[in-house]
């Protein structure tokens, strides 16, 4: 319990997602709940921004151009500078194999798409220990 109001800036989340509509939806609900959002639309920029900004958490769409979300997660988890940042994978296929893949890549959490904005917010808050209710 931080004692902060929901409108205080509570954390920074890096959102790696190539779909602009999804970026807008997730950004809106996170920002509305006091979470700063940094966006990347591909794997290379996601890795770069993670290293530059050291966000509190990363939401990683696994299906992104260039370096995909699985590989980007492996790279970030293999770099001691970024290995401690929790990564939640967003994947369009709710297959058991994707859950295994998420664990193998080093993801800390997993949300099957389509992910309702509220579900994304809840998982981000839970993982950051921000649930005040
Ligand atoms: Mn995608």
pLDDT, one tens digit per residue, over 2-55 is 444 555 568 999 999 999 999 999 999 999 999 999 999 999 999 999 999 999
Largest separation between any pair of C-alpha atoms in the chain: 41
pLDDT digits (tens, 9 = 90+) for 40-77: 999 999 999 999 999 999 999 999 999 999 999 999 99
- CA of 62 from ligand 1 middle (Å) equals 7
What would the mean pLDDT of 91-114 be, rounded to a whole number? 86
CA-CA distance, 27 to 83, in Å (whole number)? 24
| DSSP for residue 63 | S
CA-CA distance, 109 to 2, in Å (whole number)? 23
- CA of 41 from ligand 1 middle (Å) equals 9
For residue 36, list its beta bridge partners: 12
Looking at residue 1, its pLDDT comes to 46
Looking at residue 9, its pLDDT comes to 67
Identify the residue with better confidence: 34 or 95: 34
Determine if residue 106 is left, alpha or beta; phi over 0 gives left, psi from -120 to 50 gives alpha, anything else beta.
left
Return residues with CB closer than 5 A to ligand 1 (ion): 18, 61, 63
pLDDT digits (tens, 9 = 90+) for 114-132: 889 999 999 999 999 987 5
Asked whether residue 95 carries a pLDDT value surpassing 80, the answer given is no
Rounded to 5 degrees, φ, ψ at 98 are -70, -35
CA angle 73/74/79 to nearest 5° reads 100
Count of Cβ atoms closer than 10 Å to residue 24 Cβ: 11
- CA of 83 from ligand 1 middle (Å) equals 23
Asked whether residue 93 carries a pLDDT value surpassing 90, the answer given is no
| The two structure tokens encoding residue 12 | 């920074």
CA-CA distance, 58 to 40, in Å (whole number)? 10
Looking at residue 2, its pLDDT comes to 47
């Amino acid at each position: 319990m931080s004692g902060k109001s929901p409108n205080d800036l509570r954390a920074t989340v890096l959102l790696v997602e190539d779909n602009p509509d999804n970026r807008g939806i997730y950004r809106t609900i996170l920002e509305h709940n006091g979470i700063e959002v940094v966006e990347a639309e591909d794997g290379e920029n996601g890795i770069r921004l993670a290293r530059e900004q050291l966000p509190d958490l990363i939401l990683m769409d696994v299906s992104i151009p260039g370096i995909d979300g699985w590989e980007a997660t492996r790279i970030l988890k293999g770099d001691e500078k970024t290995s401690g940042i929790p990564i939640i994978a967003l994947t369009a296929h709710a297959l058991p194999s994707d859950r295994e893949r998420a664990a193998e890549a080093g993801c800390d959490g997993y949300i099957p798409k389509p992910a309702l904005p509220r579900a994304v917010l809840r998982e981000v808050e839970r993982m950051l220990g921000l649930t005040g209710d």
